Structure 1
C-alpha cells in the first residue's frame, strides 16, 4: 500500500522557503549525489502538492532541472486547491478536499508511494492522520524567516521514529492508538 511521505529541504533554522516563498536560496545547494533522495524518487508513484507550492517558485525554473526532484520526477501530480483551473494541465489532477486528494494520489501511485510537497498540506495530512513518513534534508544556510518546515499552531505533540537503516532525518510518524 502506498505510503504518504513529506519530504523537504530546509535551512538549518527550519525554513523550506524564504520570505514571500523565495526558493532561490536553494539553487546553490542542489545537485550532487544524494542517496536518500534517489531512494525516495525510486519509490514515488505520485506527488501531492498544495496550490501555493504548485504555483510557487522553482529554483530551477527555465533550466533542464525545472520541476520536482530537479526535473527527475515524471509522473502524476495531485494538487489540493479550492480553485481548480479548467482545464487541468496534462498529468495534473486537482482536488478540493484533503481526503479526496490523498485517496486520488494513492490510487495513482498504485504500489508506490506518494510524496507530499508543501508545508501547509503536510501539516494538514499530519493532523488528519494521513502522513506516514517525514524525510528532511538540510542545507547549510540560515534564512532567518520564511515558510517553516511545519506550519501548525496548537495540536498535540507528534512523535517520530527514525527509520532503521535510513538517513538520520527519515522518520516514521508514530500513530497514537485509538481510544
Structure 2
C-alpha cells in the first residue's frame, strides 16, 4: 500500500519558495544529493498542488524545465485544481480535491510512495490524516519571505519522529515519520 511523502527543499528559515512563488533561489543549490536519488527511486506517483504545477521552475530555460525532479523521475502525476486546463498534459491527471487525488495517486503508486509537491497540498494531506512522512532538504540560504514549508494560521503542533538524517554538499537532509 502506498504511503504519502511530502518532500521538498527549504531555506534555513523555512521557505520552500521565495516571494511570489519564486524558485530561482534553488537553481544554484541543485546538486548531487544521495537522499534525493534514493527518494526518486521510491516514488510511484506525484500529487501536486495547482500553484506548484503552474508555478516557477528552478530549471527554467534549460532542457529540464517542466520535468519532475528536473527529468530525474517519470510517471503518473495528479494535480489538484479547480481550473483544469483545456489542453491535456502527458501523464498528468487533474483532480478536483485532495481526497480524490490521494486515492488516485495511491492506486497508481502501488507499493511505492506518493510524493507530494506543494506546501498547501501537504498541509491538506496532514489535516486529512493521510500524510505519512516528510523529507526536508535544508539548503544553506535565508530567504526572509515566501511560501513556508508548513503554514497553519493560528498555529498547530504536529509531532514528528526523525527516521533519517544525512548530509550532501548543498543540503542537510532530514526524514520524519508523522506521529500526529
TM over 0.5: yes
Post-superposition CA distance 1:99-140 (Å, at most 9, x none): 100000111111111000000000000011010000000111
Matched, 1:49 2:48: yes
Q: Distance in 2 between matches of 1:79 and 1:137?
A: 23
Which ranges of 4 or more aligned residues in structure 1 deviate by more than 4 Å? none
Q: Distance in 2 between matches of 1:166 and 1:88?
A: 39
Q: Please state whether the residue corresponding to 1:20 is helix, strand or coil.
A: helix
| Contact persistence 1:88–1:94 (CA under 8 A) | no
The residue that corresponds to 2:177 in the other structure is 172
The alignment's TM-score, normalised by the length of structure 1, stands at: 0.91
The residue that corresponds to 2:33 in the other structure is 34
Q: Specify every segment of 5 or more residues in structure 2 that has no aligned partner in the other structure, as ranges.
A: 167-172
The alignment's TM-score, normalised by the length of structure 2, stands at: 0.91
The Cα of 1:36 is off from its aligned counterpart by: 1.0
Count residues with an aligned counterpart.
173
RMSD of aligned residue pairs (Cα, Å): 1.4
The Cα of 1:156 is off from its aligned counterpart by: 3.9
Task: Report 1:64-143 matches (<5 A).
Answer: 64-66=63-65, 67-143=67-143
Q: Specify every segment of 5 or more residues in structure 1 that has no aligned partner in the other structure, as ranges.
A: none
